[in-house]
Amino acid sequence: MSCSRRDFLQKAVGGTLVSALPLSAFTLLTVDEARAIVAESKTRWAFLVDTRECVGCGLCVKACKNENEIPYDAPVTRTWVERYVVTKDGETHIDSPLGGRDGFISDKIRDEEIDPDDITKAFFVPKLCNQCDNPACVQVCPVGATYQTEDGVVLVDRKWCIGCGYCIMACPYGVRFFHPVHKVADKCNFCYHRISNGRDPACVENCPFGARKIANLRDPDDPVTKIITTERVSVLKDEYGTKPHVFYLGLDANVR
């Protein structure tokens, strides 16, 4: 193969220009711009549930459904309360009628009478979205309709969601459901409209027993953050690696 000097120079200059072109996509940032990009958000929302305080009144579920316009009689809910009754034979009886919307006002569990003398322990566990650091539901969304905000809450874009249901399957905690009216995926967002405007979530405000609390983990003076960082708290399904941000006090090993 022969190559004249003219050809060589032309190709060399052309090649350099072409390879330099993608470099123009990079921009030089000012110091302030660079700082803004690496700066941490001032807020990271987290939740604290004290299962020892919960009496199973279900007022949180009722408030949540009203606040977030979740059809009241549809069998879907953003938060729910589970009842665990452990008997002497080692069995765990679990129920959550209507998600605990009407409270637990009967000692029957799935139409089964349980002799109070057989009970070794019994308690209530409120559940809600864990606003994970590594949310599996966000990873699987094919259209970018669900995402994590800079303060850690996972939101669903109702205009963008196509209702494919991948996220509902992906969530290890089962907190997502198909909204029967909007026909999109729906989930607890810690009442994002309330916490962003200086209020507590509806379930926190309406819990008479202080069993549910909201915390800003980036605020060291937040009393609930102090509990989370100094007391013995646990999370649900730690082994999934999703880094959930709903912390539980007094969680029993039977809780799944």
Partner 1 sequence: MKWHVLRPLWLAIGLIAAILVARQFMVPDDFGVHGDSFTYNYHRLSNVQEWKDFPAKYLGRESCIECHEENFQKNQASPHAPIECENCHGPGAGHPDDIEYLPLNTTRELCLRCHESLEYPSSRRADLPNIRNRTHKRRRECISCHNPHDPREDDE
Say which residues have a Cβ less than 8 Å from residue 113's Cβ, sequence separation at least 6: 107
Q: Which of 10, 66, 229, 234 binds partner 1 (CB under 8 A)?
A: 66
Determine, following the binding rule CB under 8 A, whether residue 229 of this chain makes contact with partner 1. no
CA atoms within 13 A on the CB side of 167: 29
Q: Is 40 helix (H, G, I), strand (E, B) or coil?
A: coil
Determine, following the binding rule CB under 8 A, whether residue 99 of this chain makes contact with partner 1. no
What amino acid occupies position 168? I
Only segment of 13-21, 113-121, 170-178, 237-245 that touches partner 1 (CB under 8 A) = 113-121
What CA–CA distance (Å, rounded) separates 217 from 152? 10
Q: Which of 43, 93, 192, 240 binds partner 1 (CB under 8 A)?
A: 192
> In DSSP terms, which residues pair with 249 in a beta bridge?
50
Q: How does DSSP assign 112-174, residue by residue?
A: B---GGGEEEEEEEEE-----SS-HHHHH-SSS-EEE-TTS-EEE-TTT-----HHHHH-TT-
Residues 114-143: x where in contact with partner 1 by CB under 8 A, - otherwise, as a string: --x--xxxxxx---------xx--xx----
Q: Whole-number minimum distance, CB 245 to partner 1, in Å?
A: 13
Only segment of 21-29, 91-99, 147-155, 223-231 that touches partner 1 (CB under 8 A) = 147-155
Residue 50 buriedness (CB in 10 A; 0-12 / 13-18 / 19+): buried
Determine, following the binding rule CB under 8 A, whether residue 95 of this chain makes contact with partner 1. no
Determine, following the binding rule CB under 8 A, whether residue 8 of this chain makes contact with partner 1. no
Q: Which of 52, 88, 226, 256 binds partner 1 (CB under 8 A)?
A: 52
What CA–CA distance (Å, rounded) separates 255 from 133? 21
Contact positions vs partner 1 (CB under 8 A): 37, 52-59, 62-63, 66-68, 85, 102-107, 116, 119-124, 134-135, 138-139, 144-150, 155, 157, 159-160, 189, 191-194, 196-197, 199, 202, 205-206, 208-210
